[in-house]
Amino acid sequence: MDARNFTFMFYGFLAAWLIVLLYVIVLARRGARLKKELEDVKRIAGEHEHADRH
């Protein structure tokens, strides 16, 4: 009983950490994508402003 108990306890901890880790990875990727999008849009907005002035 006890060996199986330990194995499943380990699985339980692993599951908890894995789920949170997966979410952190999702957040990180979303953050990177948003940053890139922000730079792109800033660049485009800057170009248009530049074009408007001339």
Partner 1 sequence: MREKVAIGSAVAAAGLLTYNLYRMFMVLPDEALQGAIYRILFFHAPAALVGMVGYFVALTFSILYLSSKNFLYDSLAASLVEVSLVFSVVNIVTGSIWARIIWGIWWTWDYRLTSALVCILIFFGYLIMRRAIDEPTQRARLSAALCIFGCVDVVIVYKSIEWFRNQHPGPVLDFRTGGGHMDPAMQTVFGLSFLAILLIALSLVLIRTRQEALAREIDSLRRLAHTAA
Helical H segments across the chain, by residue range: 2-53
Site for partner 1 in 15-44 (CB under 8 A): 15-16, 19-20, 23-24, 27, 30-31, 34-35, 37-38, 41-42, 44
The tokens of 22 are what?
A: 């997966």
State the amino acid at position 11 in one-letter form.
Y
Binding-site ranges for partner 1 (CB under 8 A): 1-2, 4-6, 8-9, 11-13, 15-16, 19-20, 23-24, 27, 30-31, 34-35, 37-38, 41-42, 44-45, 48-49, 52
